[in-house]
A and B are shown apart, each in its own frame.
Chain A
Amino acid sequence: MRFFDCNAFFGLPARRPLAPVATAEALLAEMDHAGVDRALVWHIAQHDVAAQTGNRLLTESIAAFDRLYGCWTVLPNHASELPAPAVLFEQMYKTRTVALRAFPDDHRFLLGEVSMGDLLSAMVLRRVPLFVSLIRGITWRGIYDVLEAFPELTCVVCDHGCWGEDRMFRPLLERYPHVYIDTAQYLLDGGIEALVSDYGANRLLFGSGFPESYFGGMMMALKHADIPLEAKQAVAYGNLERLIERAWGDIVKEVVV
């Protein structure tokens, strides 16, 4: 089975974790050990330092490795520090950057129409996925708010936690057709089976939460989940491939190994 991880980062966090993975090369070595083919990744400096610094580090670090796809951090852009959406998307395309991340609470802005309406509208049109993480800079309230304003946004909710969040994300899956969740921390026994049975196999993406979590945990849970093989393949890599293709078309064809 192939795995395309939608939720991994590298780089040294400001607060030292137990087992940091400093470089793209080190990340790839861990992916090889675990049997993860490709990953959509970001650099921790995008959160810990600044979007501008982290995005640059990310792009420089993954340029040589076409198994790695980038995910930049975005901010409200009223001082025009970042390019306008059309130029941003052009730069993304050129650098194999296929998704965006936002950390509104930690980066002190409100993710919504007033602050980021221009970019979010453009993302909806272009179908560029927005990744958010419940362990870094957003709450369920913030996710509910941005989706209420942008119901067509492609939004991947990561790291929703192991202590039972179904009653938080199931309403979103039912209301918004382009909301997805990842598997990181979805340790719930029988959770994958129940989710696939209730919503089909297309709303869940394999995400490891690496390097804070192991690749192997959710890989094993998915491999031995009591769902059809096609459903496992969709979760393991197919759904993420489809999201990237919808936004970027030939970028996937160019770089798929």
Chain B
Amino acid sequence: MIGRSPLAREFWKHGRVAACPIYDMHGHMGHFHSIYFPRADAASMVRTMDEAGVRLLVFSHHAALNSPDLANEPSIAAVKEFPDRLRAYCMINPNYPEQVARDLAAFSNLFPQVYVGFKFLSDYHQVALTDPRYAPAWEMANERALPVLAHTWGGSAYDGEAVVREVAERYPQVRFLLGHACHGAWHAAVALARDFPNIYLELTAVFDDRGVIEIFVEEVGSERILFGTDLPWFDPHHAIGVLMNADISDADRHNICHRNAEKLLAPILPDLIA
């Protein structure tokens, strides 16, 4: 038994709990460099989601991250294959402004059947979140109060805490999901979440750092923390085990697993969330 609470007992016993569905707000899909992924295609990922009670995964295909040739097409195809279980972030690669223009032009037609927001990967594309090449996407997200999941890493000149603060000030309507929660700069992430009510801390790759979740819950509150796994990278059961083992309440666990995501997504996906 990994924890004493009723929810921990249920998850430990069954691996998933109907009363506590999971919304995984940070996923990918497909091959990536030389990484061996046993379950990286859409069908295998949905199988994993079933095993852990993951209701919905919001993701961006690895090809969308790193291949301007393929761009968002593989993400779109996967959502169309599993429309009840998957939604995509429209990946923005600011190194190709003409592709960004095409992605933004296509966005409205694909929202919300395919897209629920945008994904930025500044560290990898080596373009800071504050760079003008991101501005068209930020502006669209700000106007429509959309979720933006940005990879954020402590100390990064592209998406570290200082850069995040600057764009958060600029775009107060964006639902700004800090992917990896400014990894390593945990207290800066707390300060950002306290200063900006539109900022959410997303937990991909945070689950394996013992103590962070307790700090976030204590100092920010569990209402602005979101579950994420980088699936197909990380087993959602690992993340669930950590949440059940961590020193937080079952109410906090419900917030992190589903309530916060439901609130965030309900205006966008009223049919799916209801």
Number of B residues with CB within 8 Å of any CB on chain A? 45
Complex Cα spacing A35 to B51, Å: 22
Residue from the list A18, A33, A163, A221 in contact with B235, Cβ < 8 A: A221
Q: Is A219 an interface residue (CB 8 A)?
A: yes
Q: Is B208 an interface residue (CB 8 A)?
A: yes
Residue from the list A35, A163, A217 in contact with B1, Cβ < 8 A: A35
Residue from the list B11, B215, B235 in contact with A191, Cβ < 8 A: B235
The residue on B at minimum CB distance from A161 is: B208
Which residues in window 10-34 of A have CB below 8 A to B?
17-19, 33-34
Q: Is B192 an interface residue (CB 8 A)?
A: no
In contact, B210 and A220 (Cβ under 8 angstroms): no
Neighbouring A residues of B186 by C-beta, 8 Å: 18
Q: Is B4 an interface residue (CB 8 A)?
A: yes
Neighbouring B residues of A117 by C-beta, 8 Å: none
Within the complex, the shortest CB–CB distance from B247 to chain A, in Å, comes to 9
In contact, A18 and B239 (Cβ under 8 angstroms): no
In contact, B211 and A19 (Cβ under 8 angstroms): yes
In contact, A188 and B244 (Cβ under 8 angstroms): no
The residue on A at minimum CB distance from B213 is: A214
Neighbouring B residues of A163 by C-beta, 8 Å: 35, 233
Within the complex, the shortest CB–CB distance from B264 to chain A, in Å, comes to 24
- Number of A-B residue pairs at CB separation under 8 A: 132
Neighbouring B residues of A212 by C-beta, 8 Å: 209-210
Q: Mark A164-182, 1 if CB is under 8 A from B, else 0.
A: 1011000000000000000
Within the complex, the shortest CB–CB distance from B206 to chain A, in Å, comes to 11
Complex Cα spacing A212 to B208, Å: 8
In contact, B2 and A185 (Cβ under 8 angstroms): no
Residue from the list B231, B234, B236 in contact with A162, Cβ < 8 A: B234
Neighbouring B residues of A214 by C-beta, 8 Å: 207-208, 210, 241-242, 245-246
The residue on A at minimum CB distance from B1 is: A35
Complex Cα spacing A126 to B91, Å: 56
Complex Cα spacing A212 to B212, Å: 10
In contact, A187 and B233 (Cβ under 8 angstroms): yes
Q: Mark B193-220, 1 if CB is under 8 A from A, else 0.
A: 0000000000001011111101100000
Decide: A18 near B242, CB < 8 A? Known: A219-B2, A220-B12: no
In contact, A217 and B241 (Cβ under 8 angstroms): yes
Q: Is B249 an interface residue (CB 8 A)?
A: no
Residues of chain B whose beta carbon lies under 8 Å from any beta carbon of chain A: 1-4, 11-12, 15, 33-39, 44-45, 48, 51-52, 186, 205, 207-212, 214-215, 229, 231-242, 244-246
